């Protein structure tokens, strides 16, 4: 017998992250590619997790999430948006934001229905849509400022269009959608009666005078929006996988029906610790932003000194750097060279386009210790000397 994988997996290859990680390990490169911190999460949060374990909070939590965590999420939402949400009927705790997205798509997208995805995208979006039997339709953001062409958005809409996936702050570009842009997108969603799945996991990482706005708070959007977020990004504990979805009750009920048969529940002691984290509120968030602002400045300077053109990111902990002035036009080839010859790993964003479009850029991550970025900066100087 020669078992075959399901047809729905056709076209799903090995993630670019696997290749870059393997190459990085092979050449012992400094990994500024993958998007997770190389530093410890807050001690108070780890202590809270240990306390929860020692208090024997080790059995299944309610499938929808600990009531205390849903209440903390509701308070955080109200603090940031000035809008209220019912923790009992409008919040679902999931095993990371990616599960929240998967459950939302499986709950709301029928086979044959179309979903608009902005490129470059977080690489889970198209596979999630395809596994639900949906059809991705792509709208490309225009580099280098990652502007939205709303005429292209309208042109992508057909009678089969069901939803739009929005990501702000945006991975991999660092773009923060402005309120004006969100208002235009909202008008299109309302006009065509579309859902919006809004991935906002980097909502606490917004720099300078830019402001994060949740599209669900705009007029006419609450009833058609699922807002997805994560504690892992905010508290630098990505391995905990505690995410959540906020949505009106009819959408929440559908999401919960899927969620109960995917993971059922997330780790109970980590949910209890997340309550402590969210209750830390603005003082912690200010400290977090201060740290990332300094790392952003440090990496942007290092890339500039190496001869790379960089548009400083408005949000997230990613930065895109233009490689064309160094004579490169293929991002994957450049990233392999960067690892083997320079000793630094980055991610080729062509992996985040359905047609492997070459924008002439690569993505670096600054969720790293100052000394990690400093060591990478020393290695990157060789790029500048070779240009």
List per-residue pLDDT tens for the chain, 387 residues long.
667 888 888 888 778 888 899 999 999 999 999 899 999 999 999 999 999 999 999 999 999 999 999 999 999 999 999 999 999 999 999 999 999 999 999 999 999 999 999 999 999 999 999 999 999 999 999 999 999 999 999 999 999 999 999 999 999 999 999 999 999 999 999 999 999 999 999 999 999 999 999 999 999 999 999 999 999 999 999 999 999 999 999 999 999 999 999 999 999 999 999 999 999 999 999 999 999 999 999 999 999 999 999 999 999 999 999 999 999 999 999 999 999 999 999 999 999 999 999 999 999 999 999 999 999 999 999 997 665
Give the pLDDT confidence score for residue 349 in this predicted structure: 97
Peptide bond before 278: cis, by omega within 30 degrees of 0? no
Supply the CATH classification number for the domain 7-41+283-385: 3.90.1150.10
For residues 213 and 202, the answer to whether their CB atoms sit within 8 Å is no
Domain ranges of the chain: 7-41+283-385, 59-279
Give the global pTM: 0.96
- The conformation of residue 35, written as its DSSP 8-state character, comes to S
Q: Find all residues with CB under 8 Å of 278, minimum gap 6, and list them.
A: 69, 72, 73, 75, 76, 231
Secondary structure element (H or E) that encloses residue 98, with its range: helix 97-108
**Integer Cα distance of 186 and 39 in angstroms:** 38
Give the pLDDT confidence score for residue 1 in this predicted structure: 60
Partnered with residue 319 across adjacent β-strands are 364
- The class of domain 59-279 in CATH terms is alpha beta
Q: Concatenated DSSP letters for 198-223?
A: EE-TTTT-B-TT-----GGGSTTTGG
Q: What crossing angle do the helices spanning 97-108 and 249-259 adopt, rounded to 10°? A: 110
For residues 65 and 274, the answer to whether their CB atoms sit within 8 Å is no
For residues 335 and 350, the answer to whether their CB atoms sit within 8 Å is no
Tokens of 228: 């997805």
Give the pLDDT confidence score for residue 361 in this predicted structure: 97
Tokens of 144: 């280098």
**Integer Cα distance of 141 and 159 in angstroms:** 23
**CB burial of residue 145 (10 Å; 0-12, 13-18, 19+):** exposed
Q: If you search the block for the tokens 């990111």, which residue do you land on?
A: 313
Q: If you search the block for the tokens 């979805």, which residue do you land on?
A: 245
* Beta pairing, strands 195-199 & 161-167: parallel
Give the pLDDT confidence score for residue 130 in this predicted structure: 97
Tell me how far apart the terminal alpha carbons of the chain are, to the nearest angstrom: 55
| Tally of CA atoms within 13 A in the half-sphere of 234 that contains its CB | 28
Give the pLDDT confidence score for residue 386 in this predicted structure: 65
Give the pLDDT confidence score for residue 234 in this predicted structure: 96
| Tally of CA atoms within 13 A in the half-sphere of 166 that contains its CB | 33
């Amino acid at each position: 017998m020669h078992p075959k994988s399901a047809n729905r997996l056709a076209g799903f290859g090995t993630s670019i992250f696997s290749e870059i990680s393997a190459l990085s390990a092979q050449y012992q490169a400094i990994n500024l590619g993958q998007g997770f911190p190389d530093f410890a999460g807050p001690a108070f949060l780890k202590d809270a997790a240990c306390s929860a374990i020692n208090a024997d909070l080790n059995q299944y939590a309610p499938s929808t999430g600990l009531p205390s965590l849903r209440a903390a999420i509701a308070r955080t939402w109200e603090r940031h948006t000035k809008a209220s949400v019912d923790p009992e009927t409008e919040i679902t705790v999931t095993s990371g934001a990616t599960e929240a997205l998967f459950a939302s798509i499986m709950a709301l997208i029928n086979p044959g229905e179309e979903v608009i995805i902005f490129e470059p995208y977080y690489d889970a979006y198209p596979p999630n849509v395809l596994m639900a039997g949906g059809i991705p339709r792509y709208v490309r953001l225009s580099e280098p400022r990652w502007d939205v062409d709303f005429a292209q958005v309208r042109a992508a809409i057909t009678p089969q269009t069901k939803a739009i996936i929005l990501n702000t702050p945006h991975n991999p570009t660092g773009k923060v959608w402005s309120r004006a842009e969100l208002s235009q997108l909202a008008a299109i969603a309302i006009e065509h009666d579309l859902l919006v799945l809004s991935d906002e996991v980097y909502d606490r990482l917004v720099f300078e005078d830019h402001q994060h706005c949740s599209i669900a708070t705009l007029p006419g959007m609450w009833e058609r929006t699922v807002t997805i977020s994560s504690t892992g990004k905010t508290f630098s504990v990505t391995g905990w996988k505690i995410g959540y979805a906020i949505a009106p009750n009819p959408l929440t009920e559908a999401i919960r029906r899927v969620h109960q048969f995917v993971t059922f529940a997330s780790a109970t002691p980590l949910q209890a610790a997340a309550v402590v984290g969210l209750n830390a509120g603005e003082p912690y968030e200010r400290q977090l932003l201060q740290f990332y602002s300094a790392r952003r400045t440090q990496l942007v300077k290092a890339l500039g000194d190496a001869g790379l053109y960089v548009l400083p990111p408005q949000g997230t902990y990613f930065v895109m750097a233009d490689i064309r002035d160094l004579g490169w036009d293929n991002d994957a080839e450049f990233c392999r060279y960067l690892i083997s010859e320079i000793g630094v790993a980055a991610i080729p964003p062509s992996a985040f386009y359905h047609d492997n479009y070459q924008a002439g850029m690569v993505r670096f991550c600054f969720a790293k210790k100052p000394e990690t970025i400093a060591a990478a900066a020393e290695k990157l100087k060789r790029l500048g000397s070779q240009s």
